[in-house]
Structure 1
Amino acid sequence: MTRTRKVSSLISAFTLAAVALLPWQAISADTVASHAIAMHGDTRYPEGFPHFDYVNPEAPKGGVLRMAVVANGFDSFNPFVIRGVAATGINTYLYDTLMEASADEPFSAYGLIAESIETPDDRSYVIFNLREEARFQDGEPITARDVEFSFDILTTKGHPFYRNYYADVSKVTVEGERRIRFDFGETNNRELPLILGQLPVLPSHYWENREFGGNGLTPPVGSGPYRIGDFEAGRSITFERVKDYWAEDLGVRKGRFNFDQIRYDYYSDDTVALESFRAGNFDFRVESSAKNWATAYRGDQFDSGRVKTEAVEHGRPAGMQAFAMNTRRKVFSDPRVREALAYAFDFEWANKNLFYGQYTRTSSYFENSELASSGLPEGRELEILEPYRDQLPEDVFEEEYQPPSTEGEGGLRENLRTALTILRDAGYVVRDGAMVHSETGEPLRFEFLLFQKTFERVVLPFKNNLAKLGIDVSVRLVDTNQYIQRLREFDYDMTVQSIGQSDSPGNEQREYWHSSNVDAKGSRNYMGVDSPVVDELVNMVIQAPTREELVHRVRALDRVLLHGHYVIPNWYLPKDRIAYWSFLQRPETVPKNGVDINNWWVKSTDQ
């Protein structure tokens, strides 16, 4: 990434000698050690809390959970590099982080490997004090040197995401065997202590004589609740619970990770995976298809209660699922063209005829949250946008963004007329039934890249509507691995993307929208957003000093992105549609973030 900063570790003999005279929990003069930290405000859980409210602390350990992955296999156990396709579950099960986020707060983190955290009021640096009992799965202690190594290897040899995510770290200092400090550069980023708490800790002693990018299918040493057990390359992987897991009784782990084994089997087709679930070949499924939810979960196993189905409400932001346009391609370089294409997508028809009326149209990048913009900008949000008025479309200030709808008089026909008018303004005309540029004669055509066959039934009607405008669209279905590689290389015109969001947007917004990531292979700036205004708004979001100010800044960013017409919004559902065999049990309380299978357990025989 262009924003990458060189991180050096400056440890003098004097510092080490001084620290050696202090207890490991020594506190800096301007900080107080705490068990937790919140992005804004106070944390929910006190020091020494026994468990999160949304788990069952008495959940029995044992049993096997069988899961399915719809993908064309895997060829790596290293999820931290851009090379290869990592097996599902590695990050979640194999590696612990310095801190653990709770699922029922906007963004609060509690000590996991780190017993405590210190940071001054201005959050210009952070210190983590590690637990003495923290261990890797081979029994070696987790030290500050391992944390330093993890940061260094991820930001120099890892996926470009890490260099960008931790770009504001200016110095790393090991202050003792279990004490490490991160200093930040010229930034007001209050989120940095929390996102450093998300750092996965890797064993330096394991990697010292190994090539980080070439691990392949050699099971590595981790620090988390599971290790890799049996696997069949590209077809299945089993995680085995670490029976002497060092953190099992901590408040952040109590009642979680209860299965003795978790097995993932790979399927190349979701229809086959669904039938395999119905036949009892795996145990838990999150259903993404409205059609399947309405028609496929029937039969004796459902009527008898052996398989249960639930639509569990959640309160997490829905983010943006959409048809994403790659503005690096000439065909989508004009925002007027992008805006016009949206009028050819008939969501209302799709929702009625394909989705059984289950969905709501998405109209924000931060849908289903207080962060979503609405109406016209006013108050503080208008103050934020006003300095950029001459750099933004007038619509940002004068029109509320709403995706085109076919409800009401005129319907799709009227929408296509509107699209035609916008395209004419952009210099396009229809000649011999084809939409071409009036000056160059170049036809308006593009390829829609898919890897999920189920999405063809949504895209093909859209293609047909565009054909009525003389726009030529080809639909290309590729396998998962090819799709991932093409995404990394930005080798697509239009594709379906789901851009998730949290209740507390921060550094990850750079990865999505910042111009520094336009040409960074593997970044998540899928649409090629390249706007000085967006860059400044992203920085403002990252540096928001309070929750209230964060909301205003995110709404301003949302509004500018929407009026940039980078995507054609799809839909969302504020529920998790789940199906599971009845021997599985879940906690009564579902956190704001929704269903988490890692809080479940196998019903004991005496229940």
Structure 2
Amino acid sequence: MGVSPLHHLRKGVLTIAAAFVLSAFLSAAASQAFVPELAAAKAGQGLHALAMHGAPKYPPDFTNLEYINPDAPKGGVLRMAKTGSFDTLNHHIIMGTAAEGLAMTSDQLMQRVWDEPFTLYGLVAGSAEIPEDRSWVVYRLRPEARFHDGTPMTAEDVKFSYETYLKHGHPVRRRVYGLVSHVTIIDDRTIRFDFGAGYDPETVMILSLMNVLPKHYWQKHDITKTTLTPPLGSGPYKITSVDAGRRIVYERVKDYWAKDLPVNRGHYNFDTIVYSYFRDDDIALQSFKAGEYDLRREYDVTKWSGAYDFRALEDGRVIKEEIAHGRPEWLRAMVFNTRRPVFADARVREALDQMFNHEWLNSTLYGSKMRRIESVFANSELAARDKPVGEEMAVLEQYKDKLSPRVFGEAYKSPSGHMRDRQRRALTLLREAGWTYKDQRLVNAEGRAMQFEILGGSKADEKIALEFARTLRRIGIEVNVRTVDSAQFAGRLDNFDYDMVTYRWINSLSPGNEQMNYWGSQAAKQKGSRNYAGVRDDVVDALADSIARTRERSQLVTRARALDRVLMHGYYMIPLFYAGTDMVARNAEVKRPETTPVYGVVLESWWRETPPKTAP
């Protein structure tokens, strides 16, 4: 999650934003080791920040984040583009298609930063108090916290927000909030949440990302319905103009209550942010070339390589750059639905991976500018590498009797060599799995030919699938490639109604509960989950479970690498490609800080400098 930068940056990144990530939660958390930064909380003092692992980077008296420009000027307009349409300004429920950027209008209890894997700093809540086992949390709200109408934010608003999301929010939120066993209002600005069975160390982190809703406003309006009337907010921007489905305009709140907080310094610099909607991305690109908007995030390397040939780029009015980052890339893949008998045998899946001509595709489609994905956590320290050693080996040794010996060897690498050799290897694997090449068809013992469908939702996916289908015909496999519209695609995805599907998973540098939703056995049976491959494996369950309950960063890295190794050697997917950079084209007047955090582009920290007009 794609997830637009300004939208997801006000959310909880890859854990809550854009359908990221929470689901299928774990059994009761085990007792946790002592964490030094909790000493203050144990003594009854609130913490200025919560880190998922270890201690926060910034001390209580920090003045600003390192990746921003504290002297960035305020002013100007940022024009952005979005494809599709929208029909609601209520992003707190799942009904309707919400307009882009709405997260900028509503503040959270705590705010995530982008130069740490998963750390939250106080926003509406000036401090949080938690015990060593994270079984409860007490939030103390800042007295200056206000909604846009000047009404103070109170513990009643927080409780109302919790109850509203629990009842009407996205299922992702509801699952987490359902782990709360009791809510206690201590005073007007202090509230306590106790967690019940099934909570884990990440639960308090996700709860802390809760938007604070104005109770006095929503008691007079129906939050369960879509609306095109701008709701009362509290964030750095408010809506000033709406053209339903076509355009939305946000204005910076000049007296925003939190504008001087250290976590916000250098942020929210544009006076006006405009999102214009286009029918499709090709039209949006042409509009960018015509100067109709200021900044474009490109996700198609083919367009990036060949479609940016216009005068404004040549004369310097537009800057095109690739900005390196250290976050895990989207795990884009053609996914095997192992619920289907044809893909139940890992040897069949490995054979088809052998037949994927990734070198030719990379050269032909992307000019060899992409890298093939070889990890669930590609482009990060969480990716398995070489052979397992040390603690990672010790973790895997616990499951030695259930794992293939190859898991204890080298990490997964893309098949290489001449396609004729790979084809022979594929046919050998298929014979071992009971399939025979006969009369130009691949058949099983009953004489039934291997045939299946690859489902996709875009023309870009279709190009790859068609070439793969052409290659598979060489060994007698008949493949139908079907591309459907977004509504059909979503419905079939939710119901696991496909043989193979081209899709993606989104990971962060702090994986947690979402891994059970991606790979867990329970999720494999739950329609609407993200276990698209239908993985049902006791070892995968155990490793995914352990990730969510780690407290030390080193433990998290070790377990993530072990999970990565097991999944990749299970051949549940045919991995596609990634760039490893954020591809951004921008109006030269739009500036960015010198430092880019590990998560990459943070548009909230950018600004506009309009050159002085020359005298006539």
On whether the aligned pair clears a TM of 0.5, the verdict is: yes
Note the C-alpha offset of 1:602. 1.6
Q: Contact (CA 8 Å) 1:37, 1:108: kept in 2 or not?
A: yes
Pick aligned residue for 2:245 from 229, 234, 240: 234
Q: Deviations over 1:93-119 (max 9, x none)?
A: 122211112111222211111101111
Residue 268 of structure 2 aligns to a residue whose secondary structure is coil
Give the corresponding residue for 1:87.
99
Residue 473 (1) aligns with residue 479 (2) = yes
Residue 366 of structure 2 aligns to a residue whose secondary structure is coil
Residue 115 (1) aligns with residue 126 (2) = yes
Residue 360 (1) aligns with residue 368 (2) = no
Give the corresponding residue for 1:13.
none
Number of aligned pairs? 580
Q: 1:287 to 1:504 in 2, by over 3 A?
A: same
Q: Deviations over 1:468-524 (max 9, x none)?
A: 222222222233344334333433332332322222222222332223323444333
Q: 1:152 to 1:442 in 2, by over 3 A?
A: farther
Residue 258 (1) aligns with residue 269 (2) = yes
Q: 1:387 to 1:166 in 2, by over 3 A?
A: farther
Note the C-alpha offset of 1:257. 1.6
Give the corresponding residue for 1:417.
424
Q: Deviations over 1:227-252 (max 9, x none)?
A: 23323333332223223322111111
Pick aligned residue for 1:318 from 304, 310, 329: 329
Amino acid at match of 1:58: D
Q: Deviations over 1:336-376 (max 9, x none)?
A: 33222212211111122221121222111111222111223
Q: Contact (CA 8 Å) 2:105, 2:238: kept in 1 or not?
A: yes
Alignment of 1:143-158 (within 5 A): 143-158=154-169
Give the corresponding residue for 1:51.
64
Give me the whole-angstrom Cα distance separating, in 2, the residues matched to 1:166 and 1:322. 31
Q: Contact (CA 8 Å) 2:25, 2:198: kept in 1 or not?
A: no
Give the corresponding residue for 1:60.
73
Q: Which moved more, 1:387-396 or 1:96-105?
A: 387-396
Give me the whole-angstrom Cα distance separating, in 1, the residues matched to 2:311 and 2:74. 30
Q: Which moved more, 1:162-171 or 1:526-535?
A: 162-171
Give me the whole-angstrom Cα distance separating, in 2, the residues matched to 1:44 and 1:454. 40
Pick aligned residue for 2:51 from 38, 46, 53: 38
Q: Contact (CA 8 Å) 1:32, 1:119: kept in 2 or not?
A: no
Residue 377 (1) aligns with residue 388 (2) = yes
Give me the whole-angstrom Cα distance separating, in 2, the residues matched to 1:188 and 1:66. 42
Q: Contact (CA 8 Å) 2:457, 2:489: kept in 1 or not?
A: yes
Give the corresponding residue for 2:467.
461
Q: Contact (CA 8 Å) 2:25, 2:513: kept in 1 or not?
A: no
Give the corresponding residue for 1:571.
577
Note the C-alpha offset of 1:277. 0.9
Alignment of 1:524-603 (within 5 A): 524-603=530-609
Give me the whole-angstrom Cα distance separating, in 2, the residues matched to 1:496 and 1:332. 15
Give me the whole-angstrom Cα distance separating, in 1, the residues matched to 2:100 and 2:529. 20
Q: 1:164 to 1:515 in 2, by over 3 A?
A: farther
Residue 391 (1) aligns with residue 397 (2) = no
Amino acid at match of 1:549: Q
Note the C-alpha offset of 1:308. 0.6
Runs of 5+ unmatched residues, structure 2: 1-22, 28-39
Note the C-alpha offset of 1:292. 1.9
Note the C-alpha offset of 1:226. 1.9
Give the corresponding residue for 1:164.
175
Give the corresponding residue for 1:219.
230
Q: Deviations over 1:278-334 (max 9, x none)?
A: 111111111222222222222321121001111111122225222222333444333
Q: Contact (CA 8 Å) 1:188, 1:543: kept in 2 or not?
A: no
Residue 175 of structure 2 aligns to a residue whose secondary structure is helix
Q: Contact (CA 8 Å) 1:144, 1:179: kept in 2 or not?
A: yes
**Aligned-residue CA RMSD in angstroms?**
2.6
Give the corresponding residue for 2:8.
none
Q: 1:475 to 1:290 in 2, by over 3 A?
A: same
Give me the whole-angstrom Cα distance separating, in 2, the residues matched to 1:53 and 1:174. 36
Give me the whole-angstrom Cα distance separating, in 2, the residues matched to 1:348 and 1:177. 62
Residue 115 of structure 1 aligns to a residue whose secondary structure is strand
Amino acid at match of 2:441: A
Q: Contact (CA 8 Å) 2:90, 2:226: kept in 1 or not?
A: yes
Give me the whole-angstrom Cα distance separating, in 2, the residues matched to 1:136 and 1:487. 39
TM-score, length basis structure 1: 0.89
Q: Contact (CA 8 Å) 2:247, 2:276: kept in 1 or not?
A: yes
Give me the whole-angstrom Cα distance separating, in 1, the residues matched to 2:230 and 2:526. 29
Q: Contact (CA 8 Å) 2:385, 2:410: kept in 1 or not?
A: no
Q: Contact (CA 8 Å) 1:165, 1:508: kept in 2 or not?
A: no
Note the C-alpha offset of 1:274. 1.4
Q: Contact (CA 8 Å) 1:235, 1:266: kept in 2 or not?
A: yes
TM-score, length basis structure 2: 0.87
Q: Contact (CA 8 Å) 1:344, 1:412: kept in 2 or not?
A: yes
Q: 1:391 to 1:251 in 2, by over 3 A?
A: same
Residue 274 of structure 2 aligns to a residue whose secondary structure is strand
Give the corresponding residue for 1:20.
none
Residue 507 (1) aligns with residue 513 (2) = yes
Residue 489 of structure 2 aligns to a residue whose secondary structure is helix
Q: Contact (CA 8 Å) 2:589, 2:611: kept in 1 or not?
A: no
Residue 137 (1) aligns with residue 148 (2) = yes
Residue 484 (1) aligns with residue 490 (2) = yes
Give me the whole-angstrom Cα distance separating, in 1, the residues matched to 2:258 and 2:355. 53
Q: Contact (CA 8 Å) 1:219, 1:228: kept in 2 or not?
A: yes
Amino acid at match of 2:367: Y
Amino acid at match of 1:232: D
Q: 1:476 to 1:434 in 2, by over 3 A?
A: same
Give me the whole-angstrom Cα distance separating, in 2, the residues matched to 1:234 and 1:521. 30
Give me the whole-angstrom Cα distance separating, in 1, the residues matched to 2:205 and 2:309. 45
Amino acid at match of 1:436: V
Q: Which moved more, 1:473-482 or 1:363-372?
A: 473-482
Q: 1:425 to 1:102 in 2, by over 3 A?
A: same
Q: Contact (CA 8 Å) 2:52, 2:551: kept in 1 or not?
A: no
Give me the whole-angstrom Cα distance separating, in 2, the residues matched to 1:378 and 1:141. 54
Residue 255 of structure 1 aligns to a residue whose secondary structure is coil
Note the C-alpha offset of 1:211. 4.7
Q: Which moved more, 1:279-288 or 1:425-434?
A: 425-434
Give the corresponding residue for 1:17.
none
Give the corresponding residue for 2:444.
437
Residue 361 of structure 2 aligns to a residue whose secondary structure is helix
Amino acid at match of 2:511: P
- Structure 1 runs, 4 residues or longer, greater than 6 Å off: none
Pick aligned residue for 1:518 from 505, 520, 524: 524
Q: Contact (CA 8 Å) 2:519, 2:536: kept in 1 or not?
A: yes
Amino acid at match of 1:305: G
Give me the whole-angstrom Cα distance separating, in 1, the residues matched to 2:96 and 2:338. 26
Give the corresponding residue for 2:88.
76
Q: Contact (CA 8 Å) 1:68, 1:265: kept in 2 or not?
A: yes
Give the corresponding residue for 2:196.
185
Give the corresponding residue for 1:16.
none
Give me the whole-angstrom Cα distance separating, in 2, the residues matched to 1:384 and 1:164. 29
Residue 290 (1) aligns with residue 296 (2) = no
Pick aligned residue for 2:291 from 251, 264, 280: 280
Amino acid at match of 1:49: F
Note the C-alpha offset of 1:216. 4.4
Amino acid at match of 1:298: D
Note the C-alpha offset of 1:398. 4.2
Note the C-alpha offset of 1:42. 2.5
Q: Contact (CA 8 Å) 1:325, 1:495: kept in 2 or not?
A: yes
Q: 1:231 to 1:334 in 2, by over 3 A?
A: farther
Q: Contact (CA 8 Å) 2:42, 2:130: kept in 1 or not?
A: no
Q: Percent identity?
A: 47
Residue 435 of structure 1 aligns to a residue whose secondary structure is strand
Q: 1:198 to 1:430 in 2, by over 3 A?
A: same
Note the C-alpha offset of 1:443. 3.6
Give the corresponding residue for 2:15.
none
Q: Contact (CA 8 Å) 1:435, 1:471: kept in 2 or not?
A: yes
Give me the whole-angstrom Cα distance separating, in 2, the residues matched to 1:569 and 1:372. 14
Give the corresponding residue for 1:10.
none
Give me the whole-angstrom Cα distance separating, in 2, the residues matched to 1:2 and 1:306. 48
